[in-house]
Amino acid sequence: MVSMVADEKAQPQLLSKKAACNSHGQDSSYFLGWEEYEKNPYDPVSNPGGIIQMGLAENQLSFDLLESWLEANPDALGLRRGGASVFRELALFQDYHGMPAFKNALARFMSEQRGYRVAFDPSNIVLTAGATSANEALMFCLADHGDAFLIPTPYYPGFDRDLKWRTGAEIVPVHCTSANGFRLTRAALDDAFRRAQKRRLRVKGVLITNPSNPLGTTSPRADLEMLLDFVAAKGIHLVSDEIYSGTAFAAPGFVSVLEVLAARGASNAPDADLSERVHIVYSLSKDLGLPGFRVGAIYSSNAGVVSAATKMSSFGLVSSQTQHLLASLLGDREFTRKYIAENTRRIKERRDQLVEGLRGIGIECLESNAGLFCWVRMGSLMTSQSFEGEMELWKKVVFEVGLNISPGSSCHCREPGWFRVCFANMSAKTLDVALQRLADFAEANGSGKGGAAPARRPLAGGPARTMSCPVGRFSWANRLTPGSADRKAER
Amino acid sequence: MVSMVADEKAQPQLLSKKAACNSHGQDSSYFLGWEEYEKNPYDPVSNPGGIIQMGLAENQLSFDLLESWLEANPDALGLRRGGASVFRELALFQDYHGMPAFKNALARFMSEQRGYRVAFDPSNIVLTAGATSANEALMFCLADHGDAFLIPTPYYPGFDRDLKWRTGAEIVPVHCTSANGFRLTRAALDDAFRRAQKRRLRVKGVLITNPSNPLGTTSPRADLEMLLDFVAAKGIHLVSDEIYSGTAFAAPGFVSVLEVLAARGASNAPDADLSERVHIVYSLSKDLGLPGFRVGAIYSSNAGVVSAATKMSSFGLVSSQTQHLLASLLGDREFTRKYIAENTRRIKERRDQLVEGLRGIGIECLESNAGLFCWVRMGSLMTSQSFEGEMELWKKVVFEVGLNISPGSSCHCREPGWFRVCFANMSAKTLDVALQRLADFAEANGSGKGGAAPARRPLAGGPARTMSCPVGRFSWANRLTPGSADRKAER
């Protein structure tokens, strides 16, 4: 690109390494799948043969509740307070610390999502333009170039970009398997820690999603205890991304690591400063279904992290217009109480529809109690139990069945045959269409309920078939190209 | 901070270097000034003896025009289009490429700000949560750790944080002086380039603000030609931060570097790929006075930059609610035409009030034709022509006179005695109060119009008194602490 006749100091490389390397993924087969979806999106009336989007963890189930509230509270959208315009105040508002009314309401709402078992101090909240930004800012605060975070697999593929790209931090996967329902173990953590040491990486922390994306499960209290023991012993950080906390719809329910931390107290010496090393990421994109409004948050009791992250938030502040709206909405306790109850009821209903539908076809899901997706075992539909087989099935499901789902390899899952299937971004009728299509496909491939394939294999049974994943570099994040597909900040 | 009894791998340093080093500035004397302002803000009725904020480049002059438009266009705030709700569409909207209607309207508005002499292709626009984010993203795209950008002085102090902190890029100042009204020269650029080479930094580009913050002047066409010759010859980038383009109120008016570039054509060999190395930063914070809404943009004809910056924009997207509002507002050509004319008329009027008032006291300003501030020479009020003298005067002005203004040393100005004084964030009456206070102070110090001090010294006369600045580390950006002051993303 550089001009060959430029005098003196012609620069051999015009763009940064970060920018120059970012074409990865354009050759991914996922790209083809998303492109296919965007070329041919399902619509019950205008395009009943189109592809149904089941790769997008959107919550569209409770918009009517939000719309009714907006209708009844015109000041929220109208940039008014008590009927009087606050336009000028909002137009000029750019305090890095966020709008007090909004932070107070958000702190209270986060507490409510956790059954009021944890109290949040608004002054420990740093607002960010979405959880994507919150996660990256935390990495900038906690890790230097070449430092590592341990992350249990399968994990949200966007982390490969969000946590690593601009920070220079590394991710070391903690391998979880179906043998115990993908639960985190101390042995797996120790193994990852050792692998990091072998690579001469300094481990600065562990990052989990709780509830898990893509598993759709909440972390059991015992696992969080074990995890806290681990980070306490190692003297490292724990980041708990809890952006799906408000989607937990069934027992044992969602337990935040902050609850477990509070219950431990600081009596153990290794725990003395543990509370300064536990950080939460939250967002309104999933629980309220508002990804377009770009509202995320970091919660930390570490003054250094809050101070640095607050300064970093200047690179992604939340619009004051949006803060004003949400301060009103979340400040309405009567509304949030009803919303949370009804929203989780609807999520459970839609998830039950998916799980029962799949079971009818002979396809099992990991038992879930949260999230906007299920973690589905489709090995019975694969011609070979390998990542090649997974990719082959995935292509069939996208191109022949007409469902855009996400293969486990994109989540760094070590066992082939798992897929993340989203259910909350469509109507019950559309979900029925999707299930019928899959039933027809299973039937035609002899793997339906009456077929010969090993359906209903118990999830935790038998040895886990783990292998290194040849398609690990494919990810949802990699879909982000200037092309027609590849446009979403979706999680 | 790390627990002393932690087993195995206790980490000696818990936070990243970036986070750990960010306490700088808390001991700055500026902090005291802002704290003083926040403790004691002027109000004509409730606190007529308070400090008047003249350190904040806000545009409060045309809010009535925006309010009238909002009143007449309820769909914009109401999340409606043609009366029908688009709430669901906006709630879910998270396309990195931004809302087409908004980008089209923004491209047209940017073109209008430049007298329609430049056409903007909406597909070359990357939306960001404010110009702060746009500038940082561009650095991430163009510079690796240790690469340098040349920036003419005096420059916006926030650049020290925005461009360097997380990217690892370096800033090498291009020293401009009052001898030629702080205009950029080839000699100054060559000097900076040589200094960068001596420091073994790879120069990746030049960054200018046009109109200049803090000078309040537009770049003459000839200077932009010279600058393009320089970057063409060196094979480096040019970033032109044009966030004040809509504030140009007097001849010769604002000329975008894109106009000059288009006129050159690509006939010269060094120019062959020059258009791919010129990038614009824009924002609606100054021209529309909407910093709270966090709307910035990168404009580039470099496909690699657009692609990488679009991905990076996931760390700071613009709220869909705000995009919807502004798509309507900027899409109303009749409104924008009237707004631009009236807004610049009002800026000129207020600036004239400041300049004439200061002249009456014997204080001269650099002749300006843009911006929301003047660059004011106050050497006549200083007891010594040094940065110590500047700091001494600055403290008097804050604590005794009751005006919070910004000393030139914070902008890396090499000549002591210059101050940035903002005028568009207050009423005409408040500006009169500020001027009267300064007149009283000058009178009392024998430096008023009738005093003995060398008032009305011609701006460009005599040799420039340059010296290294002992307070260069003080900056507005450094005010950002968790304390009571220190909260603004202001420019």
pLDDT digits (tens, 9 = 90+) for A232-255: 999 999 999 999 999 999 999 999
Question: Which of A19, A31, A28, A130 minimizes the C-alpha distance to A487?
Answer: A31
Q: Is pLDDT above 90 for A90?
A: yes
Give the mean pLDDT of A354-359: 98
Question: Which of A164, A294, A149 minimizes the C-alpha distance to A236?
Answer: A149
Cα distance between the two ends of chain B: 35
User: Using CB atoms, which residue from B92, B129, B482 is nearest to A292?
Assistant: B92
Closest approach of chain B CAs to the CA of A322, in angstroms? 7
User: Using CB atoms, which residue from A15, A67, A78 is nearest to B142?
Assistant: A15
Q: Is A241 designated active site?
A: yes
**pLDDT reported for residue B326:** 97
Residue A489 — pLDDT band, cuts 50, 70, 90?
Answer: very low
Half-sphere exposure of B387 (CA within 13 A, CB side): 17
Closest approach of chain A CAs to the CA of B154, in angstroms? 22
Closest approach of chain B CAs to the CA of A180, in angstroms? 28
**pLDDT reported for residue B488:** 55
| Residue-wise pLDDT tens digits, A200-218 | 999 999 999 999 999 999 9
Mean per-residue pLDDT over chain A, rounded: 88
**pLDDT reported for residue A29:** 57
Q: Is pLDDT above 60 for A454?
A: no
**Residues of B designated catalytic:** 156, 241, 243, 286
3-state DSSP of chain A:
CCCCCCCCCCCCCCCCHHHHCCCCCCCCHHHHHHHHHHHCECECCCECCCEEECCCCCCCCCHHHHHHHHHHCHHHHCCEECCEECHHHHHHCCECCCCHHHHHHHHHHHHHHCCCCCCCCHHHEEEECCHHHHHHHHHHHHCCCCEEEEEECCCCCCHHHHCCCCCCCEEEEECCCHHHCCCCCHHHHHHHHHHHHHCCCEEEEEEEECCCCCCCCCCCHHHHHHHHHHHHHHCCEEEEECCCHHHCCCCCCCCCHHHHHHHHCCCCHHHCCHHHHEEEEEECCCCCCCHHHCCEEEEECCHHHHHHHHHHHHHCCCCHHHHHHHHHHHHCHHHHHHHHHHHHHHHHHHHHHHHHHHHHHCCEECCCCCCCEEEEECHHHCCCCCHHHHHHHHHHHHHHHCEECEEHHHHCCCCCCEEEEECCCCCHHHHHHHHHHHHHHHHHCCCCCCCCCCCCCCCCCCCCCCCCCCCCCCCCHHHCCCCCCCCECCC
User: Using CB atoms, which residue from A197, A235, A272 is nearest to B11?
Assistant: A235
Residues 6 or more apart whose Cβ sits within 8 Å of residue A392? A382, A383, A384
Cβ(B218)–Cβ(B248) under 8 Å?
A: yes
Hey, of B96, B264, B317, B372, which one would you mutate to test binding to chain A, going by the most A CBs within 10 A of its CB? Answer: B317
Cβ separation A79–B70 shorter than 8 A: yes
Q: H-helix or E-strand containing B174?
A: strand B170-174
Active-site pick, A241, A271, A287, A486: A241
Residue A6 — pLDDT band, cuts 50, 70, 90?
Answer: very low
pLDDT in single tens digits along all 491 residues of chain B: 333 333 333 343 589 988 888 544 444 556 677 888 999 999 999 999 999 999 999 999 999 999 999 999 999 999 999 999 999 999 999 888 999 999 999 999 999 988 899 999 999 999 999 999 999 999 999 999 999 999 999 999 999 999 999 999 999 999 999 999 999 999 999 999 999 999 999 999 999 999 999 999 999 999 999 999 999 999 999 999 999 999 999 999 999 999 999 998 766 667 778 999 999 999 999 999 999 999 999 999 999 999 999 999 999 999 999 999 999 999 999 999 999 999 999 999 999 999 999 999 999 999 999 999 999 999 999 999 999 999 999 999 999 999 999 999 999 999 999 999 999 999 999 999 999 999 999 999 876 554 333 333 334 333 344 444 333 333 333 333 333 344 554 56
Cβ separation B79–A70 shorter than 8 A: yes
Q: Which two tokens stand for residue A402?
A: 């007409």
> When comparing pLDDT for A470 and A425, which is higher?
A425
In angstroms, the CA A278 to CA A205 distance is 9
Q: Is pLDDT above 80 for A481?
A: no
Closest approach of chain A CAs to the CA of B444, in angstroms? 36
Q: Is pLDDT above 50 for A126?
A: yes
Q: Which residues of B touch A65 (CB under 8 A)?
A: none
**pLDDT reported for residue B478:** 33
User: Using CB atoms, which residue from A85, A132, A488 is nearest to B315?
Assistant: A132
Residue A355 — pLDDT band, cuts 50, 70, 90?
Answer: very high
Cβ separation B15–A141 shorter than 8 A: yes
Determine the residue of chain B that is closest to A58 in CA distance: B92
**pLDDT reported for residue A349:** 98
The full length of chain B comes to: 491
Question: Which of A51, A46, A48, A57 minimizes the C-alpha distance to A33?
Answer: A51
Q: Per DSSP, what are the bridge partners of residue A226?
A: none
**pLDDT reported for residue B267:** 65
> When comparing pLDDT for A4 and B364, which is higher?
B364
Q: How many helices (H) and strands (E) does chain B have?
A: 16, 15
Active-site pick, A156, A244, A282, A299: A156
Residues 6 or more apart whose Cβ sits within 8 Å of residue A53? A37, A41, A42, A404, A422, A425, A426
**pLDDT reported for residue A445:** 87
**pLDDT reported for residue B12:** 37
Q: Is pLDDT above 60 for A112?
A: yes
Cβ separation A141–B92 shorter than 8 A: no
> When comparing pLDDT for B484 and A344, which is higher?
A344
**pLDDT reported for residue B94:** 84
**pLDDT reported for residue A13:** 56
Determine the residue of chain B that is closest to A128 in CA distance: B316
